[in-house]
Chains A and B, each alone.
Chain A
Amino acid sequence: MELDCTQTPDLMIIHVRETRIDAAGAIDFKDRMRELTAFNTLRVMLDLSKVTFIDSSGLGAVVAVRKALGPDRPLELAALTPAVEKVFRLTRMDSVFIIHPGVPAHTGGQRDAI
């Protein structure tokens, strides 16, 4: 699972560089997210603009990441494509997550491929 990261003083944006978060990739996604978020205590925003499909296993993995981050660091989501938005809406997970229409354009941070 290819993820990379843009960091600002108070926000870490994790960009998913894959088109799918599905049953074949859900465990890998959870593991990579745990690695990336372990180094700091910044807010975490997940950029889903490249993700065109998510299934219930992928959704479960996103929920698991949110729970692992804890209540003081709620996972934020950004730039949901129509299929991803549909799955979040039908499972009512759209009411649980903070969802941003887009990713902040100028974060002033440095992008590191990880």
Chain B
Amino acid sequence: MPSDERPDQTRIVIPSDPMAVRQALQALFDHLMTGRMSADDRDTAQIVLAEALNNIVEHAYAQEPGEIEVIVELCASGLTCRIMDAGLPMPGGTLPQGVLAPMPSNDDLPEGGFGWHLIRTLSEDLHYRREDGRNLLTFRILAQQYPH
């Protein structure tokens, strides 16, 4: 869609490795977005992106490594994010529901299963599709853009 707004887009391509995910998140949120989004909005965006990227590293690329492409764009309505990978498709072709289980006693506390709950709680317009052998995940983080 044509727009009069100047695009404010950042594209990062990383290998499917937890340390590469950490470095990409630090580059984005400790440097690039500092002063352009509030600290609270940056925290929210970083939590969602971390969960989405870690999920690709752990599941989509569980069998063999590959590349992850991240495109973020800061616009009036917030931070729009597109994440692409060439790994395995989502089981069933859809995103997990990410519903938190009732909190059990200490012995049975869950050590995982939080990721999709965090993504679904903190993001808007979350969509997934498989296209030409690639996974495409898109979402938006509501954020107030600071003038710069």
Residues of B within 8 A of A95 (CB): 103
Q: List residues 73-130 of chain B with CB under 8 A from any CB of chain A.
A: 100, 103, 106-107, 109-112, 114-115, 117-118, 121-122
Interface locus among A6-14, A40-48, A51-59: A51-59
Q: Looking at the complex, which one of B46, B110, B118 makes contact with A90 (CB distance below 8 Å)?
A: B118
Interface residue B137 (Cβ < 8 Å from any Cβ of A): no
A98 within 8 A of B: no
Q: How far is the CA of A50 from the CA of B39 in the complex (A)?
A: 16
- Complex contact B109–A96 (CB within 8 A): yes
Q: Residue-by-residue, is B24-59 near A (CB-CB < 8 Å gives 1, otherwise 0)?
A: 010000000000000110011011001100100110
Judge whether A56 and B51 touch: CB under 8 Å.
yes
Residues of A within 8 A of B118 (CB): 56, 87, 90-91
B122→A82 contact, CB < 8 A: no
Pair A82/B40 contact, Cβ less than 8 Å: yes
Does B18 belong to the interface (CB within 8 Å)? yes
Given the known inter-chain contacts A22-B50, A55-B51, A95-B103, please indicate yes or no for A67 contacting B21, CB distance below 8 A: no
Given contacts A23-B54, A55-B51, A56-B115, contact A82 B43 (CB under 8 A): yes
What is the bound-complex CA distance between A90 and B43, given in angstroms? Answer: 13
B30: min CB distance to chain A, Å: 9
Cβ contact within 8 Å between A57 and B54: yes
Interface: A71 (CB within 8 A): yes
Q: Are B46 and A83 in contact (CB under 8 A)?
A: yes
**Interface residue? A20 (CB, 8 A):** yes
When distances are taken between beta carbons in the complex, the residues of chain A under 8 Å from B57 are 23
| Chain B positions within 8 Å of A91 at CB level | 100, 114, 117-118
For the complex, is B19 an interface residue (Cβ under 8 Å from A)?
yes
Is A105 interfacial (CB-CB < 8 Å)? Answer: no
Q: Could you show 9 A-B contacts with beta carbons less than 8 Å apart?
A: A22-B18, A23-B57, A56-B114, A60-B110, A60-B111, A63-B109, A82-B39, A83-B46, A90-B118
Chain B residues in the interface with A (C-beta under 8 A): 18-19, 21-22, 25, 39-40, 43-44, 46-47, 50-51, 54, 57-58, 100, 103, 106-107, 109-112, 114-115, 117-118, 121-122
